[in-house]
Amino acid sequence: MLNPNNDRLDYGQILAPPAGYYLDFAVGTTYSLDLDALVGASLALGLSEETDSELMNNPVCLLEALRSTGDKVALFCEGGQIHMPNRVTPLYILLEKMVFSVKTAKKRGIAAYPSFHPKFWLIRYKNNEGSLKYRVIILSRNLTFDRSWDITYVMDGEVVKTGSDKNEPICDFLRYLVSQTPSDENGKAKARGIRALIRELPNVAFTPAEKEFYDFEFIPNGVRKQGGGFYQFDDTPLFQDTFHEILIMSPFLSGGIIRDFNNRNRNSLIKDARYMLITREMSLGRLKPEDISNFKIYTMRDAVIDGETAISGESQEIQKQDIHAKVYMVRKYSSSDLYLGSLNASHNAVHGNVEFMICLRSKNRYLNMDKLTAALFGSEKDGSDNPFQEVTLQNAIIDEEDEKTKALDAVVKDINRSNPSAYARQEEEDFYSVNVHFDACDTKDYQVSVRPLLSKREEGFGEDIVFTRLSVTQLSEFYVISVSDGERTVERVLIIPTEGLPVDREKAVVSSVVSNRDCFYRYIAFLLGDDTILSVLEANTAAGEVGSSANRQAYHVPALYEKMLQTAAVAPEKFKGIEYLMKTISEDGIIPDDFKKLYETFKKAVRFNG
């Protein structure tokens, strides 16, 4: 169940539609976001490809993945935690309609801003007969390329006739997300999609696939209940009941939270309880001996943390890995509960953040500390295959660099909450200027700069900033904020609502990818799954004939027409891509006249209305 060697899940595979189905709508959440990872998720959702597929390097395939998912995906992340992508292309303009940033309000008793921290997906798939399938995914993993060890749980659901309130916590969580959508047309459209899920969920039954679990409960944290009050994790049995065994896996800790678990049985009749904590070495510095006196403590071995670096000699970048999973296993008598999701064992997580967890209910014969540690540690606790080692508080280290980076992130959070806005206006036939406004924000101890994501034009931070001579494909609502203390620098991408963006931006992006007839036919071949077209393209390219009249005739119009008819019968969804191209490409000469005639004839034959 939790064996690191045997029970691995691939992010792309858990997002991809079941066989015979396609994505109908998806809502996801993450704390931090890498835009490249979102592109990979779009490949999985839209094209059933792996998130690290070679198609990431194919602009035609990327365009189709982003086109097919743009109106169907709403992804929410913590404001100020969008990381800089490794490669930036104008295609990222198509990501704007998917991403929404959340700005939490201050809470009493929380020093910093609470975080929007859930990692969650709810996906609805559809087939050509109109049947629906649902999938709920609860993770500890952010939508990034971080190498740390995480946990994921997936359940599929079917529509049933008898309704229940089992999914009401998801509905309340989705209502919170609706409140975070902007009031523009895209935000309203995504809110309608989420509300449709809320209406459907009472008649969707999710079922654990494993025999070990006989029941489950969805548990959000920090969002309002429809019936009044808020979901609070410290009201759950995990934070209230006594126990015979507890295993906590959490990368980040607070002394008070761990001390509560440590002392839970003090006034009970239970005297022989077992306690285990698996965490990061750097987090032990937050604990005192009295916080952890009953616990056995484990951290990941250095050889595992540095393992990827050691075996990847060609890599220029050190990619360390550590624990990032959040797991709580509690056994009392013959009953065992397993909590999985985003919640760290920290004060801010329990009392402030927006989080999402699932509780899976089991029995001692299936789930207990011995079975769980055997899966995690291997056959022998002290064996060479055990990725963890037992430690004491004397092993604690303080990661001062991490603390200083958090201070820079806090500046980004303040800037993100300074009510940023922007306005674009055309200053020449092919160029625009953008005025960006921030409310007053204290950044005097730091060097801060701002630039549009798709441009290299950078300006120092101020209340009013102007960027001039930006082309259509450099205009975006993504802006890069760079904050430095002289030694360290963090770069984050902010979403700044920008008025006056030209309506033809998307056309310009499409035209930059589908820039000639060769690219156009490659797109058509990709949509139809027609290797014959690709073979003709490759043969003519080798012969130096791309773009010639002979090349255009080599596509054998009757054969192409037949292929389109076949596709219309078995996968009509694909024709939305062709219709999109026909309406979006504005450059003369890109779409061959013979294809235009073919497509019009085809539409009449199948009564396709786009």
DSSP letter string over 84-113? PPSS--GGGGGGTTTEEEE-PPP-TT-SSP
What pLDDT was estimated at residue 587?
Answer: 66
What pLDDT was estimated at residue 52?
Answer: 64
Per-residue pLDDT, averaged over 125-154, amounts to 94
Tens-place pLDDT, residues 463-474:
999 999 999 999
Longest CA span, the chain: 88
Structure token digits, residue 64: 């189709």
Residues in the chain: 610
In angstroms, the CA 8 to CA 399 distance is 29
Cβ 128 vs Cβ 104: under 8 Å = no
Cβ 278 vs Cβ 298: under 8 Å = yes
Q: Kindly tell me if the per-residue pLDDT of 547 is higher than 70.
A: no
Per-residue pLDDT, averaged over 8-22, amounts to 89
At residue 312 the predicted structure's pLDDT band, cuts being 50, 70 and 90, is: very low
Tens-place pLDDT, residues 405-424:
888 998 999 999 999 999 99
Q: Kindly tell me if the per-residue pLDDT of 258 is higher than 90.
A: yes
DSSP letter string over 529-562? T-HHHHHHHHHHHHTT-TTSHHHHHTT-HHHHHH
Backbone phi, psi, residue 180, to 5°: -100, 0
What pLDDT was estimated at residue 578?
Answer: 84
- CA-nearest of 496, 498, 495, 497 to 81 is 495
Tens-place pLDDT, residues 345-401:
999 999 999 999 999 999 999 999 999 999 999 877 676 778 999 999 987 777 666
Residues 6 or more apart in contact with residue 155 via CB below 8 angstroms: 135, 136, 206, 207, 208, 209, 216
In angstroms, the CA 542 to CA 557 distance is 22
At residue 94 the predicted structure's pLDDT band, cuts being 50, 70 and 90, is: very high
At residue 552 the predicted structure's pLDDT band, cuts being 50, 70 and 90, is: very low
Mean pLDDT of the chain: 87
What pLDDT was estimated at residue 554?
Answer: 46
What pLDDT was estimated at residue 560?
Answer: 75
Cβ 488 vs Cβ 405: under 8 Å = yes
Structure token digits, residue 328: 């709580």
In angstroms, the CA 117 to CA 115 distance is 5
Element holding 305 (H helix, E strand): helix 302-305
At residue 12 the predicted structure's pLDDT band, cuts being 50, 70 and 90, is: confident
At residue 402 the predicted structure's pLDDT band, cuts being 50, 70 and 90, is: confident
In angstroms, the CA 28 to CA 267 distance is 42
Tens-place pLDDT, residues 259-302:
999 999 999 999 899 999 999 999 998 899 999 999 999 999 98
Computed over its alpha carbons, how large is the radius of gyration of the chain?
A: 26
Judging by DSSP bridges, how do beta strands 327-332 and 245-249 pair with one another? antiparallel
What pLDDT was estimated at residue 584?
Answer: 85
Residue 182 CB burial class (10 angstroms; 0-12, 13-18, ≥19): middle
Judging by DSSP bridges, how do beta strands 132-139 and 152-159 pair with one another? antiparallel
Structure token digits, residue 555: 């596509």
Per-residue pLDDT, averaged over 449-456, amounts to 95
Tens-place pLDDT, residues 149-201:
999 999 999 999 888 899 999 999 999 999 999 999 999 999 999 999 999 99
Residues 6 or more apart in contact with residue 542 via CB below 8 angstroms: none
